[in-house]
Amino acid sequence: MKTHHTPLKIVFATNDSGFADRLISRMESWYDDVTCYRLDDPEAVNADVAACWYPPQDLLQTCPNLKLLQAVSAGVDHIPASLMQAGLPVCRVVDEGQKQGMLEYVLWGVLHYQRDFDKALAQQADKVWKLHPQRRAGKMRIGVMGMGQLGCFIAEGLAKFGYPVAGWSRSEKRVDQVSCLWGEEDLPEFLSRCDLLVNLLPLTPATDGILNQSLFQQLPQGAVVMNCGRGEHLNEADVITALESGHLRGAVLDVFPQEPLDTNNPLWSTAGVVVTPHMASAASGKAILGQLVDNGRHILEGKPLLHPVDTAKGY
């Protein structure tokens, strides 16, 4: 995968040195005309592009020649607001493989409750043999909250499996076989349709803590919540209360404000909670580095950027 184009200088601006080292190692083996810097390299001052994963707030002081901030993820909420509003273009990663992986994870969660695997596992622990009536896909209403590229892909994919799917977003969206609602005025109606709610919203000041008691009470009795967005979307105390009261049947949680999840966190032992270690899906190294290099070339050559972010909205 050696290339011969405009020389490009990239600084890997991340709080995870091991992650940076892995990406740099791949980059250096795939591209012979890209120069890579770690943040502590004095030569990073010459970087054209920053590959960002929790970059420092003073990044532009360290690297004053940056022309582009490229997230190495689908979301950009890990980039500080001061950098988002610094006037530089910001882009993110879009990976078809990541979309498929997320659909598979969500489908597993849907099947877990549609086919009563949660009940079967609880019965196994007590050595109880009990058969439950089979629930058809058409009787399991799914709601997808957050209809960006990923959310639309998930909603459309679930609809193809025969589930009645509703989608909710801040602005109007149209997806085949999906009942799309939008805006605050449509949120109560959307929630009332969700036997299982999948959260894929971006994290913004408006969505921080949105999975809370008020929202849970608008879901049908016995509903399930899946959080595949960000840990900060969820009020942990509220979901525990909703589960213990019996209003929620279950919660599948893949993301948390602090990861790894602390061993003393009550979510580990709350009945009805399924904890997974931020494994729902991930962009491939090929997609991350390929889009990083492509956008780096584009910014230097004055070409349109791939997957730019609206820095005012944060997604």
Residue 26, token pair as written in the block: 């791949």
Catalytic residue among 112, 141, 193, 230: 230
**233 included as an active-site residue:** no
Dihedral sign computed on CA atoms, order 301, 71, 306, 36: positive
Question: Strand, helix or coil at 274?
Answer: strand
C-alpha span between 71 and 79 (Å, rounded) = 8
Q: What is the DSSP letter of 308?
A: B
CA distances from residue 299 to 24, 217, 293 in whole angstroms, order as listed: 20, 47, 10
**310: Cβ contacts below 8 Å, ≥ 6 apart:** none
Asked whether the beta carbons of 10 and 34 are under 8 A apart, the reply is yes
User: Could you write out the three-class secondary structure of 24-38?
Assistant: HHHHHHHCCCEEEEE
Nearest residue to 300 via CA among 49, 73, 55 = 49
**298 included as an active-site residue:** no
C-alpha span between 31 and 289 (Å, rounded) = 10
C-alpha span between 147 and 242 (Å, rounded) = 25
Asked whether the beta carbons of 8 and 296 are under 8 A apart, the reply is yes
- According to DSSP, the β-strands at 165-169 and 178-182 are parallel
Catalytic residue among 5, 38, 115, 278: 278
C-alpha span between 153 and 151 (Å, rounded) = 5
Query: Which positions are annotated as active-site residues?
Result: 230, 278
